[in-house]
Every structure is written in C-alpha cells, then in structure tokens.
C-alpha cells in the first residue's frame, strides 16, 4: 500500500479528475484482504451509503498511547480507495496522532470533498469519525489500565 506522502505526490501529479478517480480506485485494489468473517455489523461503518467495514487492532506501543492498525474494505470501488487513503493516513499511528490528524486539510489538499458526491463525502466523514472514535476509546482504555 502507498504511503500518505506518495498518495499526496501522485494526486499533485495528476491534473485531470478522471485520472484521479482512476487512481483512487487503484488505491482501493491495494487494500489488505479483509476476511468475510470480519465483515460484520459490529465492524460496519454507520453513515455510509456503500457498505464499509473497519477493524482496529491495538498494539500497546507505550503505557499511555497505543498504536492502532486498521483494516478496511468496501463494496464500492471508489469508496475502497477512500478507505485506502484514510488507512495510509492513520493505520500504524499512535492514538494521539490519529486524534490530532487534520483530515480537513488532507481532503482540501487532495481536492476530495469538492469532487465527491455528497453521499460519498458524508461517508468519508463517517469513516474518519469511526477511526477517531477507535483512537479515543483506546486512549481511554489505556488510561484505565
């Protein structure tokens, strides 16, 4: 899977939005395989028109700030690509970094929101909210431990 910086660089290289859409779809094809057993209601991201699933694995990287690894999938090609972009931005990061991540700046830099349908933009925001919710919950759990 491409790094977030590679994705940003590639977006800046592509002038045409048709080419960018193709690239987003291609990014979706690079997602790590998600087993059907993980495609449960509990892992489903609410607020998405397409079906989107997200799993989170907590890796204790320190006593108070765990590292989170995400796996995601969708039944829609473009949405799979959006999931791939968010995983590149957040997976493997500490919970505090995820909570501090400025997704609006990323979406603006990539020009995503203005080129997505309102439903896809809302779904993307729902995905980000779910990722940040997982980060917040892991921080709260580590504070109690």
Which residues are catalytically annotated?
A: 48
User: Which are the contacts of 41, defined by CB distance < 8 A and separation ≥ 6?
Assistant: none
Residue 84: φ, ψ to 5°: -60, -40
Q: What does each C-alpha distance from 129 to 17, 27, 48, 145 come to in angstroms?
A: 26, 21, 12, 24
- CA-to-CA distance for 55 and 38, rounded, in angstroms? 7
Q: Which residue has the tokens 């057993």?
A: 37
54 and 71 Cβ atoms separated by less than 8 Å: yes
What DSSP state is assigned to residue 51?
A: -
53 and 73 Cβ atoms separated by less than 8 Å: yes
């Amino acid at each position: 899977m491409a790094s977030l910086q590679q994705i940003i660089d590639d977006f800046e290289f592509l002038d045409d939005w048709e080419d960018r859409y193709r690239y987003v779809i291609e990014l979706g094809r690079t997602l790590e395989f998600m087993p059907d057993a993980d495609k449960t209601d509990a892992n489903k991201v609410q607020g998405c028109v397409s079906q989107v699933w997200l799993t989170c694995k907590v890796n204790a990287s320190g006593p108070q700030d765990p590292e989170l690894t995400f796996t995601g999938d969708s039944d829609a090609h473009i949405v799979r690509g959006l999931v791939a972009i968010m995983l590149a931005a957040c997976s493997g990061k500490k919970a505090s970094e995820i909570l501090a991540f400025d997704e609006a700046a990323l979406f603006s830099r990539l020009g995503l929101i203005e080129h997505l349908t309102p439903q896809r933009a809302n779904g993307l925001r729902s995905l980000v909210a779910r990722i940040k919710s997982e980060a917040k919950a892991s921080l709260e759990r580590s504070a109690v431990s």
